[in-house]
Amino acid sequence: MVSLSTDAALAVRAAMSAAGPAAHGLRLVAHADDDAVLTVMIHLDVARHGDVVLERSGVRLLLDGVSHRSVEGLRIDFVTAPGVPRFVVGADHAARGAGVC
């Protein structure tokens, strides 16, 4: 399961409000390279045919089938310190400790 922190949900909803109807949710695009290093890109987008749509904290997460399988156990957070506000995507250690891979 993908988790979204309260701060991340607030930041996404604010960005979606500013974007208007062009944004239906937060798209996660995941790709593992040959060394099994996972890269996750996120951006506001519209839902597309075949997407897996997850609802987390009032935010729609939009994923294609491959990305849906790849992001299992990830957590999306939003931090403001130190420096520039940014999203942070990483392993959800609480979920992994509960047996979710």
CATH topology of domain 3-97: Hypothetical Protein Aq_1857; Chain: A; (2.60.300)
Tell me the domain boundaries of the chain: 3-97
Q: What is the pTM of this model?
A: 0.82
Q: Residue 29: its pLDDT value, please?
A: 93
Residue 94 has pLDDT above 70, yes or no: no
Instruction: Give strand ranges (E) for 24-82.
Output: 25-32, 38-45, 52-56, 59-63, 74-79
Nearest to 101 by CA among 72, 80, 81, 78: 72
pLDDT digits (tens, 9 = 90+) for 28-73: 998 888 887 888 999 999 999 999 999 999 999 999 988 888 888 8
